[in-house]
């Protein structure tokens, strides 16, 4: 039964990652904790390791089309490595219940934001991104990148969507290079967090093998089909899923 469940998790995770470029955390952590009764921190470590595999393959696809630009985005690579280690350190000094509550509320807030954009038919990212960043915006991006990295270590969310927004609004990337670059930064951020959790023996390797391999293939295939869909449908679907996951987890942690 657990193997079948892991296969299903892999299918959903791959579809979600390919559909929205998001982290495996929204599926892997709730599924492992609620259905397989895996400890929260181990579920987080497993989620990050799955993210490494999935985002690595997706970023390869973006690289082939020339949509990864690290000339200015390299600064995120530093925060993507340092931030998760701080988050892991904090996770072992915070009650698990508070971590779960923070996770659930975060999912609800992000879900609400996505649904709002879908209903109002407002693009998730809009406006010109052609101007060079100032030193103030760059400093702000460094701080934001560190915060995103800390969230990665705490919750197992490797920050794909958050890195995307930071690249567009902070470093003024256009959309496609921002997506491609955020995916490869997400892979590095997830790798940093995964290594930290594995050193604490908090990775469920059976789940990584099954979920990771399936999500890699499915994520890549779905990502090839997504451009045919209107953005509001994509945003609405992701937002609804995040919102439902957050509501489902609240009774478990309150």
N residues, the chain: 254
Look up residue 125 and give its two tokens. 């990212």
pLDDT of residue 132: 58
Look up residue 217 and give its two tokens. 């293939």
pLDDT of residue 12: 87
pTM, 2 dp: 0.72
Residue 59 pLDDT > 90: no
Residue 159 confidence class, pLDDT cut points 50, 70, 90: low
Residue 129 pLDDT > 60: no
């Amino acid at each position: 039964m657990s193997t079948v469940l892991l296969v299903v998790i892999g299918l959903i995770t791959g579809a979600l990652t390919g559909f929205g470029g998001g982290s495996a955390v929204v599926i892997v952590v709730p599924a492992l904790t609620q259905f397989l009764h895996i400890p929260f921190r181990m579920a987080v470590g497993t989620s990050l390791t799955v993210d490494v595999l999935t985002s690595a393959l997706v970023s390869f696809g973006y690289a082939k089309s020339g949509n990864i630009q690290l000339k200015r985005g390299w600064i995120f690579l530093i925060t993507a490595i340092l931030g998760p280690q701080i988050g892991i350190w904090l996770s072992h000094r915070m009650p698990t219940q508070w971590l779960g509550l923070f996770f659930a509320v975060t999912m609800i807030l992000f879900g609400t934001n996505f649904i709002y954009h879908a209903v109002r038919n407002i693009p998730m990212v809009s406006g010109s991104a052609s101007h060079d960043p100032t030193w103030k915006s760059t400093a702000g991006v460094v701080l934001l990148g560190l915060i995103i990295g800390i969230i990665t270590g705490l919750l197992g969310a490797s920050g794909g969507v958050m890195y995307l927004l930071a690249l567009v609004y902070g470093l003024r990337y256009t959309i496609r290079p921002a997506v491609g670059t955020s995916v490869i930064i997400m892979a590095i951020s997830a790798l940093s967090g995964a290594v930290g959790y594995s050193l604490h023996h908090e990775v469920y390797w059976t789940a990584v093998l099954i979920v990771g391999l399936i999500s890699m293939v499915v994520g890549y295939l779905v990502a090839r089909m997504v451009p045919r869909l209107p953005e509001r449908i994509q945003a609405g679907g992701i937002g609804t899923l995040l919102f439902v996951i957050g509501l489902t987890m609240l009774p478990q942690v309150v």
